Amino acid sequence: MKLEAFGTLNAVLRCGSFAAAATEMNLSPSAVSLQMKHMEAYFGQPLFDRSSLSARPTAFAREVNDAVQETLQRLDGLRRRHSPALAGRVRLGTIEPLQVSLMPALLRCVAARYPQLDVRPVRGRVSELVDQLNRGEIDAAIITQPETGGSRRLSWTPLAKEKLIGIAPLAARTGTLAECFAAYEWIRFDRSTVGGRIAARYVAKHAPEARSRIDVQSLAALTAMVSEGLGVSVLPDPGPGVLQVHPVRVLPLGKHGPSRQIAFACRLADQDNRLVQALLDGARSAYAERV
């Protein structure tokens, strides 16, 4: 019996269904179901009551989970207590906006906790970094998770939901986002990116008459254009540093406005790699500082 199956059982119990556990574990629902059937064959008794539409965990399933989780936590504690200081080189891919908003804090956190770890940043677009991960050219990436969930060959750990905002020139006298789009041209965030597609859908719904001629890949460049009065835009928040250099009117999109999911991705085989986990630790710490 593989240890991964016990992690899947834990996810099913926490998430409440095979489908939800499949999303968290980056598996298909059928793969989750197959793992649970293998566990039932191993123990010789059912872990789930399948007499209704949804599979309900038995008391034995919870007993197995409690016993295994306690053991896994003790093993992890032993590994951390007896492991030497982390040392080595790791390659971390990030998308362009995070090079400014996240990477400096992440590198500082990692350097403070793991001074012998040599982190080599790699910049790229989401599709490029996913390909590099799958080919083993980088060790991990912090990117926008694709809306369909992302490559199932990778492990995805959510880090933060980043809200999109509307921006307009400081001279804009109109109030609402739709009024701004009526008065100015729409400068689009590159629609080949996840954030760009999310922004385009929002504009199509809330300002269907918006007119545009160009897509811009850089959030900083896009913000600078809006600051110069060339148009308005909907985009992921470029961060206070960019907004200070290129002042604009920020137009919040409301509590239920669009957002993109920033996630930490690595190969499935590297989920327990301590060097990769050190990067994840640094990413979580860097995001915690921003809250």
Do residues 145 and 232 both lie within one domain? no
Q: Max alpha carbon distance in the chain (Å)?
A: 72
Do residues 178 and 233 both lie within one domain? yes
> Two tokens at 258?
């669009």
Do residues 72 and 124 both lie within one domain? no
User: What is the pLDDT at residue 81?
Assistant: 59
CA–CA distance, 102 with 84 (Å, rounded to integer)? 28
Do residues 275 and 234 both lie within one domain? no
Q: Find where tokens 């160009």 sit.
A: 214
Do residues 137 and 101 both lie within one domain? yes
Model pLDDT for residues 155-210, shown as the tens digit of each residue = 899 898 889 999 999 988 767 888 899 899 999 999 988 899 999 999 999 999 99
Final residue belonging to a domain, choices 82, 117, 133: 82
Q: Let me know: does 143 contact 130? Beta carbons within 8 Å.
A: yes
Final residue belonging to a domain, choices 20, 52, 82: 82
Helix orientation angle between 274-290 and 103-113, rounded to the nearest 10 degrees: 120
User: What is the pLDDT at residue 79?
Assistant: 61
Do residues 19 and 74 both lie within one domain? yes
As for how many domains the chain has, the answer is 3
Residue 150 — very low, low, confident or very high, per pLDDT cuts 50/70/90?
low
Do residues 172 and 105 both lie within one domain? no
CA angle 214-239-256, nearest 5°?
80
Model pLDDT for residues 8-67, shown as the tens digit of each residue = 898 899 888 888 888 877 677 888 889 999 999 999 999 998 887 778 899 999 999 988
User: What is the pLDDT at residue 28?
Assistant: 79
Instruction: Supply the CATH number for residue 58's domain.
Output: 1.10.10.10
Residue 149 — very low, low, confident or very high, per pLDDT cuts 50/70/90?
low
Residue 266 — very low, low, confident or very high, per pLDDT cuts 50/70/90?
very high
Q: Let me know: does 144 contact 264? Beta carbons within 8 Å.
A: no
Domain encompassing residue 122: 88-160+260-290
Return the closest-CA partner of residue 68 out of 120, 19, 127, 8. 8
CA–CA distance, 287 with 160 (Å, rounded to integer)? 8
How many Cβ atoms from other residues are within 10 Å of residue 288's Cβ?
A: 11
CA–CA distance, 277 with 291 (Å, rounded to integer)? 21
Q: Let me know: does 262 contact 162? Beta carbons within 8 Å.
A: yes
> Two tokens at 272?
């327990």
How many Cβ atoms from other residues are within 10 Å of residue 79's Cβ?
A: 11
Q: Whole-model pTM?
A: 0.69
Model pLDDT for residues 69-118, shown as the tens digit of each residue = 888 777 767 666 555 577 899 999 999 888 888 899 999 999 999 999 99
Contacts of 225 (CB under 8 A, 6+ apart): 187, 216, 231
CA–CA distance, 148 with 181 (Å, rounded to integer)? 29
User: What is the pLDDT at residue 116?
Assistant: 92
Do residues 50 and 192 both lie within one domain? no
